[in-house]
Amino acid sequence: MSAVVEQQIEDAAPRRRGGRRSTLVLGLSLTGLIVLLAIVSLIWLPYPPSDISGGRLEAPSAAHLLGTDKLGRDLFTQLMIGARIALLVGIGSVALAAVLGVLIGLIAAFARPWVDDSLSATLDVVIAFPVLLLAMLVVAVQGASLWSAILAIGLAMSAVVARLTRILARRVLQEQFITAARTSGTRWHGIVLFHVLPNIAPTLGVNLALQFGAAVLAEASLSYLGLGAPPPNASWGRLLQEAQGTVLTAPVGAIAPGVALVTLVLGVNFVADGLRDFIDPTRRRQR
């Protein structure tokens, strides 16, 4: 499995010659579009979320930008609420994965070999499980809700973050400036705070951005399967599930939420791509 880790590190390292500021800008614009939708949805919505005044499965018009669903609800309104949910799940689960993963990873990196070995072996088992299966297990236990989706995805991802943290921290700990810091009397928490964390943060940050996209996709899958946030939370996954049966008569309903999903995930991935070079210009020359 070493190659997987290598690829993770590779993913978090720059690839092409020259800066990739344009990738970063493109990524930020795509992501920003969805963030904007979500923020506006907090202040203003075209229609109340459960307003069913529109006709059923109306085609897009001036009154309903994306048409209506089979209950007569405005699709654009649902889409805006979906943006809110996608971002909430992404941020929530990545934050959870980051806190838990970095903690476990640092413990493994600092601990005695046998603690490290057993932690690493357990992580390997957890990582062998695809995120979605773990998430389904947690949902089976917790019942379907927005919070169990966040909890489920966050927990599943924390193992990946933990392993990456451990490997990166180990690398840093071998550096001479750590030995220097130790001999000059820096305590271990000083070493973690002032030397290890700042050095692993860039690579970790890029990886977390990639995890964000994966989290959004995982939430969409859960909702599609009916294991995500229950109605009236209009998750994009659930919108797609509802529109699937009427794709022939009202294709927009089955296309728009998917486009929104791809926009956000692609945007975040581009941001991660662009950040690689932005954070660490010394490595721009590689390959």
Q: Which residues bind another protein (CB under 8 A)?
A: 1-7, 10, 120-122, 124-125, 128-130, 132-133, 136-141, 213, 217, 220-221, 224-227, 237, 240-241, 243-244, 247-248, 251, 254-255, 258, 261-262, 265-266, 269, 287
Shortest distance (Å) from residue 277 CB to another protein:
16
Judged by DSSP in three states, 63 sits in coil
Instruction: Return the closest-CA partner of residue 100 out of 160, 169, 147, 158.
Output: 158
Decide whether 21 or 287 has the Cβ nearer to another protein.
Answer: 287
In the block, tokens 């932690």 appear at 119
Please, what is the minimum distance in Å from the beta carbon of residue 39 to another protein? 22
Helix (H, G, I), strand (E, B) or coil at 89: helix
Reduced to 3 states (helix: H, G, I; strand: E, B; else coil), residue 74 is strand
Shortest reach from residue 230's CB to another protein, in Å: 13
Comparison of 47 and 172: residue with beta carbon closer to another protein: 172
DSSP bridge pairs for 29:
none
* Closest to another protein by CB, 92 or 237: 237
The amino acid sitting at 75 is: L
Instruction: Give whichever of 76 and 236 is closer to another protein, judged by the CB atom.
Output: 236
Residues 6+ apart with CB under 8 A from 64: 46, 54, 58, 74, 75, 76
Residue 31: closest CA among 236, 275, 270: 270
Q: Find the shortest distance in angstroms from Cβ 161 to another protein.
A: 16
Burial of 48 (0-12, 13-18, 19+ CB in 10 A): exposed
Of 113 and 185, CB closest to another protein: 113
Q: How far apart are CA 228 and CA 206, in angstroms?
A: 27
The answer to whether 200 and 178 have CB atoms below 8 angstroms apart is no
Of 31 and 47, the one with the shorter C-beta distance to another protein is 31
